[in-house]
Structure 1
Amino acid sequence: MDREQIRTYAAAVNAAGVPVVEVGHGNGIGASSLQVGRSRPNDDEMLSTAREALTHSRLATLMLPGWATTADLRNAVHHGVDVVRVAAHCTEASVTERHLSAIRELGAEAQGVLLMSHMATPDELAGQCARMVGYGAQAVCIFDSAGHFLPADVTARIAAITTAVDVPVAFHGHQNLGMAVANSIAAVQAGARTIDACARGFGAGAGNTPLEVFVAVLERYGHHTGIDLRSLAIAADLAEQTLMPAPPTIDSTSLASGLAGVFSGFKKPVLAAAAHEGVDPWDLFFALGRRRVIAGQEDLIPDAARSLAVQGATR
């Protein structure tokens, strides 16, 4: 995206009353690189552009330890970021300690995020969230990064976490099995107070919880968000027209990703590796699932594809 795209969309959701708008590279601040893709504007340009447009909404950004540094955090807060979310694999909350503490010292709201949360039990997630709260997290969030959950899975995890911590709990869904809205409603009913969502579900693989649909469903349930739904629908139309070549859909590879419990963002590298080695992407997703590959291990995708090709040649 360029700065004008960011400015236009930020202004639209600000006008609709969306309370928090997260801006940045898909892997967070400091992540623009050849390995995971370069963003067109740099972090400073993205954040300052969004900050100018967000006259009412709070500005948030994401960071992953290993990509971003304390200097990146300081720079983000300098450019007006109100909320910084620090993300780690669902069993590795310990890597967030230094960054959560630094965010608090900088005066921004610190939130802890656990990725690939289907790979941990409800009790394990609750324990990891409690650790992040101990490090200074003022809210905690679990990501269904593979779009693997069903509503009962979400209910069990959110209920366990809300029992274990005394800060707001959030949920981030993916649409691989078509369950993102249902899972997000289950999270709300189990005690979550913040839900991640994107216009038209814009996101990796099959996409995220579609923001305008989720707000409409919340209204039907009697949960009034303070967001103007008609203005939000206009913002969603704008997003489809200006931010994406086409809205994300649940295709066969996204479905395989959700069933196998593999990170949704692996879709493109899986398709590339499968084509290079002459193997079926469906088989490759399930091979990666058996290896319990997680986000950040993109280098294992070609290896798994080669192994499948060898297996096929020796049959």
Structure 2
Amino acid sequence: MKKLYIQDVTLRDGMHALRHQLSVEKVREVAIALDEAGVDAIEIAHGDGLSGGSFNFGFGAHTDWEWLAGIKDVLKHAKLTTLILPGIATIHDLKKAHDLGVESVRIATHCTEADTAIQHIEAAKKLGMDVGGFLMMAHLNEPKKLAEQAKIMESAGADCVYVTDSAGALLMEGVVDRIKAYKDVLKPQTEVGIHCHHNLSLGVANTIVAMQHGATRLDASLTGLGAGAGNAPLEVLIAVLNKMEVKHNSDLYKLMDAADDLIRPLQIRPVRVDRETLSIGYAGVYSSFLLHAERAAQKYGLDTRAILLELGNRKMVGGQEDMIVDVALDMLSNKG
């Protein structure tokens, strides 16, 4: 088996769990620790990608450019990567990140909207970047149709396309079916990636079965730090891969130390499977809706779980965070 490519998302997806309030100094410290632990790529940005800081998504303690500045100079092994969502970040933002040393980027779209990523993928390839296509909320598109979306990203120039379980809603067979569908239509040289959330406690299991069926780029984060119940916990994933004797570059003990010493003390809300985060996976809603739904529930005297389930019934997708208050008000009106 080809040596796995481990991409850490602590400093991007993990931003959601920390309300995007990490300091420049802490980002640098964590990036150095991850690099020394041998991960292959470190993704840094606002939780919603470059230029995600806004009233809608939440403002960061710093700009993406402040978080990214100087990081490339301290990395000895890992690629500096970032993520963009078309409609939020522009090609100008992509070029600015490239000038700061970012050499790899994921272009993220909803699982039915790959065509919105074409110009961004093409622009990144012209800059000589490694490019991943990131099809979010993968559970909302059946395997064959999701693979058709992956093909659009590949045709635009993506080096890798991800099955992205943003809601942590997929069961293991759902992951396998989507990986197989990708392998059926993508070129042999196009890599397949997997990004799993942990809302049903399946983040690691789903990542492993994806790997067993051909995924070679695996996402994870220290302590699982991320939206909802978090991502597949990096240190746990590496421990499992070690027991399976699968080849990778990461040092388990160094990751364990970074998880416990650097990340756990930062957590505002414990990243865990609880009644609210379990409801995200159960309802199949975007993991970053968690804090927004909790705030609306507290303000209007509603049950967070009920809001999340209603969001799932309405098939709300990433980018509609501003609609959560409207949903809560509708529920309040109906309750009255």
Structural mapping, 1:176-215, within 5 Å: 176-215=199-238
Q: CA deviation at 1:30?
A: 1.5
**Contact 1:88 / 1:114 at 8 angstroms: preserved in 2?**
yes
**Contact 1:176 / 1:206 at 8 angstroms: preserved in 2?**
yes
- Cα distance in 2 between the residues matched to 1:244 and 1:50: 23
Indicate the residue corresponding to 1:240 in structure 2.
Answer: 263
List per-residue Cα deviations over 1:74-112 (Å, max 9, x = no partner): 111111111011000000000001000000011111211
Three-state SS of the structure 2 residue aligned to 1:159 is helix
Q: What TM-score does the superposition give when structure 1 sets the normalisation length?
A: 0.96
Indicate the residue corresponding to 1:300 in structure 2.
Answer: 323
List per-residue Cα deviations over 1:34-76 (Å, max 9, x = no partner): 2212222222221123212212111110000111111111111
Indicate the residue corresponding to 1:263 in structure 2.
Answer: 286
Q: 1:254 aligns with which of 235, 259, 277?
A: 277
Three-state SS of the structure 1 residue aligned to 2:76 is coil
**Contact 2:49 / 2:85 at 8 angstroms: preserved in 1?**
yes
Greater relative CO (CA pairs within 8 A, separation 6+): 2
Letter in 2 for 1:188: M
**Contact 1:83 / 1:110 at 8 angstroms: preserved in 2?**
yes
Letter in 1 for 2:248: T
Three-state SS of the structure 1 residue aligned to 2:81 is strand
Three-state SS of the structure 2 residue aligned to 1:28 is coil
Indicate the residue corresponding to 2:33 in structure 1.
Answer: 12
1:84 aligns with 2:105: yes
Three-state SS of the structure 2 residue aligned to 1:227 is coil
- Cα distance in 1 between the residues matched to 2:279 and 2:237: 24
- Cα distance in 2 between the residues matched to 1:293 and 1:97: 24
Three-state SS of the structure 1 residue aligned to 2:70 is helix
**Contact 1:29 / 1:61 at 8 angstroms: preserved in 2?**
yes
- Cα distance in 2 between the residues matched to 1:301 and 1:34: 14
Three-state SS of the structure 1 residue aligned to 2:194 is strand
1:32 aligns with 2:46: no
- Cα distance in 1 between the residues matched to 2:268 and 2:299: 25
Q: What TM-score does the superposition give when structure 2 sets the normalisation length?
A: 0.90
List per-residue Cα deviations over 1:203-242 (Å, max 9, x = no partner): 0111110000001101111212121111221221233255
Q: CA deviation at 1:33?
A: 1.8
For this pair of structures, how many residues does the alignment match?
Answer: 313
Three-state SS of the structure 2 residue aligned to 1:29 is coil
1:153 aligns with 2:195: no
**Contact 2:44 / 2:80 at 8 angstroms: preserved in 1?**
yes
Q: CA deviation at 1:277?
A: 2.5
Indicate the residue corresponding to 1:138 in structure 2.
Answer: 159
1:94 aligns with 2:76: no
Specify every segment of 5 or more residues in structure 2 that has no aligned partner in the other structure, as ranges. Answer: 1-21
Indicate the residue corresponding to 2:333 in structure 1.
Answer: 310
The root-mean-square deviation of aligned C-alpha atoms, in Å, is 1.3
- Cα distance in 1 between the residues matched to 2:92 and 2:312: 35
Indicate the residue corresponding to 1:173 in structure 2.
Answer: 196
Three-state SS of the structure 1 residue aligned to 2:320 is coil
Letter in 2 for 1:263: Y
Evaluate the alpha carbon distance shift between residue 44 and residue 124 of structure 1 in structure 2; reply closer, same or farther with a 3 A threshold: same
Letter in 2 for 1:135: A
Specify every segment of 5 or more residues in structure 1 that has no aligned partner in the other structure, as ranges. Answer: none
Q: CA deviation at 1:307?
A: 1.8
Point out the more displaced range, 47-56 or 205-214: 47-56
Any runs of at least 4 consecutive aligned residues in structure 1 with deviations exceeding 3 A, and if so which? none
Three-state SS of the structure 2 residue aligned to 1:299 is helix
- Cα distance in 2 between the residues matched to 1:253 and 1:7: 31
Evaluate the alpha carbon distance shift between residue 49 and residue 2 of structure 1 in structure 2; reply closer, same or farther with a 3 A threshold: farther
Three-state SS of the structure 2 residue aligned to 1:207 is coil
- Cα distance in 1 between the residues matched to 2:59 and 2:306: 29
Indicate the residue corresponding to 2:246 in structure 1.
Answer: 223
Q: CA deviation at 1:256?
A: 0.9
Evaluate the alpha carbon distance shift between residue 277 and residue 245 of structure 1 in structure 2; reply closer, same or farther with a 3 A threshold: closer
**Contact 1:3 / 1:49 at 8 angstroms: preserved in 2?**
no
- Cα distance in 2 between the residues matched to 1:3 and 1:263: 27
**Contact 1:23 / 1:50 at 8 angstroms: preserved in 2?**
no
- Cα distance in 1 between the residues matched to 2:57 and 2:77: 32
